[in-house]
Structure 1
Amino acid sequence: MATSFTQRPALQSNSREQNRFMEKLMAKILSFYDEQSLIDVTFKVLNPTAVVPAHRLILAATSSYFENLFKGEQGNNPVIEINDIDSDTFERLITFCYTGEAPITVNNVDAMLKAALILQLDDVTSSCVDFLITNINDYTLQAAYTLERETQCERLKEKLIEYEIKNFMEISRGVEFLSFDVEKLQRILESDNLNITREEDAYDALKRWFNYDEPARQESLPHLIACLRLTQFDADFLLTHIQPLSGCELLAFKAISWIREPAARTKINIRFTEPRDTCEKTFLALGSTETYHNLLQYDKAEDKWQEYASLEIDYTYYCMVLEDDNLIFFGGRKSGATSNIVRSLNIRNKTWQNLPAMNQARCGHCVVELDGKIYAIGGLEGEEVLSSVERYTPSGGWESMSSLTVGRYRAGAVTLNNKIYVLGGKNNNGDLKLVKCYNPDSNIWTSCADMTECRDFPFVKVHNGHIYVLDTYSASGSQSVERYDPERKTWSKICCLNAEWARIAGMSLDNKLWFIGRPKSDDRSSVSIYDEDNDRWAEKCSFSNVNGYFRCIVPVAYCRQNE
């Protein structure tokens, strides 16, 4: 009898000897597969007809479907017919059993997921679902819903619910939302992570769903209303909107009592009394001169800006990103010297922390965050224009990546569709209108269509799948704005702005693009929102200028329960 594997003396799991052994073993197995050597099973697959040879041991070790198949009566046959999977997909999945790699695309993900479920290849199933959610805009949400109904894939169902919770405002306006079953809608409304600005948003969506088929949904309405955070409404709202609903009278009474009688709350049986964990979005703006820095926070309820913190920053020409609750400052110039320092400011407790320094000292550079990694791009070191790029990960620190084909500083950078775009800036030859795109999977920079104008120190942001860009300063007092469509790979001009300096504010707020700027010869800053349907800027509010100008404006989470 062979010695049990567990009884043999084993090499340490991290030893070089074991790694070399496993590499040699896998290389030999792959060579057997490529050469069709020692084949002991052949599959005949239809649509179109193809013959796929393989090794029973490898397939059985990868999939319980094959393990059970080969242990059964049919598994003894030298040729096994496969009728419910097309030959191209089946061959891809057999290759996965040897390599662990599955080439998933928008065009084949349906077939790959269905086949992976049949063959019980859980890793491929997970990869297909993750691919669908990551590329939902290319695949379309409607197609994902159809695929979930066809396959009854539990992982896809769970991931779609996570997506719906995260993108609730957009989802709730769609046609498919009106056909959600009660169980799905309940899970969404119960979630503490439901991404809404205010509790009324959840009520409005639920009311739309209810009105779509009121007779059939009347019985479920009180149960779903109970999933709302009723104590976050005021008493007037509860009396006007909740109490008149059939079956919801007691819910409204309990919530009103909870609000009006704090001393009696321990005796009131109500399901949810705390706000959701999701936070309202607002803006945090850093205003500064060389000697003065302060953070302003936008109060959406009051439609005004108020001072949030005063900061001591002795660097200029630094770059900054927001990551979770931390503003991270990269490089810059101090006392005439370029720095590689990296510091983090926690915006909640307003404390500083030093982080690992960049390999290259930089000022006037770009910094972006993509997939949990931070990229520092180009800039200046002294008078030298840099083309170098480095990337930071918590586990690996800073490492060099593929350099820009054209060095530059004072450029703009954004991420879109899992790629990095660097736009404009300048170098020794002057201002640039060049646009470069970086693919982190291939570590390669490629050229995109040039902007219509050269832009030094442009302000660049992504909104609804497009890249918007304008100059930070304008001597004429009128800002030229253009927009890039990554699918058509074209630039188009949009409505200009009347301002001598400008910032497009962070990501969108309330799914709109916000602009902050200062009209020429005016001592107040204007706030406008872009109306895409009518290609115009609508004025929102204005506020007195801080001492200096805004270095950046970022969207932050603002939790009412943490006030």
Structure 2
Amino acid sequence: MHFQKSLRMFCSRKKLQCKPKTCETIAVPSMKGHGYLDYIIENHTSKAFEKMDELRKENLLCDVLLRVSYKGKEKYFPAHKIVLASCSPFFRAMFTNNFRECHAREVTIKDICPIVMQRLIEFAYTSRITVGEKCVLHVLLAAMRYQMEDVAKACSDFLVKQLDASNVIGISNYAEQIGCIELYRKGREYINTHFSEVTKEEEFFNLSHCQLLDLVSQESLNVLCESEVYNACLRWMQWDLNSRAKYFHVLLNAVHLYSLPPKFLEVQLKKCPILSKENNCKLYLSKIFQEMSLHKPIPHPKLRGNQLIYMAGGYLQNSLSSMDAYNPQTGEWVKLADMPEPRSGLGACIVYGLFYTVGGRNISSMESTDSNSLIYFNPVNNQWKARSPMNIARNRVGVAVIDGAIYAVGGSCGSEHLKSVEKYDPENDTWTFVASMPTARIGAGVAACRGRLYAVGGFDGETRWNTVDCYHPEEDRWQPMASMTTIRSGAGVIALDNYLYAVGGYDGTNQLDNVERYSVDRNYWEPMASMKHRRSAHGLTVHQGKIYALGGFNAGGFLSSVECYCPERNEWMEVTEMPTGYSGMGVAVTMEPCPKLVDNIDVDQMDNQGY
């Protein structure tokens, strides 16, 4: 029956006037003023789509029938072209560009599970998608295929939350294959952050040599020590030694070999079973080991991942227990776990990526106690752990590392100014005395360069020094070197590119802002650009080829400023402020702390040293 005839019959039964009227017969009330109505129904769109979904389910007004063919079975889904085209560029192109499907009543879709297609269609009408572990990869693949970005993002976000060391490689590879860039990026970030855990899982051992090479070539790997990368390559080869040993040389080219301690290389040359079979690799490593052993100039060691500047302890009216880290890339400060007890005048250094603090003094309103303690901070789990203490308590001690061994130089114990030196072996957790310095030194700058230890300046209780003594570990002896042009105690001393830099300090009258540089090859000191501020008892370290001076003390009080020195430009510039100004802290650079949700790792169980 015609729609308008039906309407007239309905109106007559209801005694309604249904005679159409023209515009002339309708009385229009007059409107005064100039107001207007702008009214929005907030849920109009959602209600409209609800109605469209009802129509779809009842197969009303549908203009396309999707015939989904999958593994010999077929299933049909009625739908509205405009709805599918509105949320999928794929379907929009299909239905609007004069393709055959544009006017077809029925369209065949192949190689997609009907359940997955049903969920995509339901999403188009309802904006809801439900996925679980069993189907999420299938839904993601279909969403990428049909360019349904919101569904792909939902699946990607779900998978990111499921990432762990056992599945991240597989998920990342899958994301790369289907072009899901964001999921792939998140997966690689997880691998880089959790490298040591990932390389102990089966997925890692199933990598091809090309995939492994791509992985270990990443500069963004967040590892405590380069030995973790080397050992991961060894484990991968040992998984199928007969077919994989031939790739050892190409993998070694991706490892930062000059960042490995000489002692580690020595152990590998003696004990690694693969090197005994791969003679070319053994010769290659032997050459590098000889360069290190003979203290020849070598390429500056590369550190992977994002490296932060860590500061432990310090002095501000009392000794501090705080631990903070500065990120030069972002300018942000990170608050980390406090040390077990307050300390100032402590030494700090990095061994296998762990941040060690040595000695110092606990000064409070109640007491002043010198410390012989040795503790380390693990950036992986944000925890401190105690190791064997030194034989002697040492305040304002100088600290440096040679081949994985920590040297504690001079300092004071009570009223005694020390010339003795102790060496710590992390493998055996033991301290032993080595040859004493010719002169007692407190507040000396101590640094290691090309296998030698340098003690620079300092104070013996009566005299402040500009002298320099050099320690030869293989001969256990000290040798005097060229003296600085300036007397300094409490100076910062750091090694960079075969030079020692002596920065600031105290000459007995004033804090200093001047800087001088010592050439290890020429045994010669030369003046360099001065800092912006005078400072002593400050922190000094190297980050990505630049020198950072942090905090300290001068006639104006405690400093919070941080200056950065560029050797190429011979120029200092202020870069940031510390959260609080103080002096006497321990400073060193190591890997960025892992996220809070990272599981704790027992460092004692790690095979970093390869013994």
State the TM-score, normalizing by the size of structure 1: 0.49
**Structure showing greater relative contact order (alpha-carbon pairs closer than 8 Å, 6 or more residues apart):** 2
Q: Which structure shows the bigger proportion of residues in strand conformation?
A: 1
State the TM-score, normalizing by the size of structure 2: 0.45
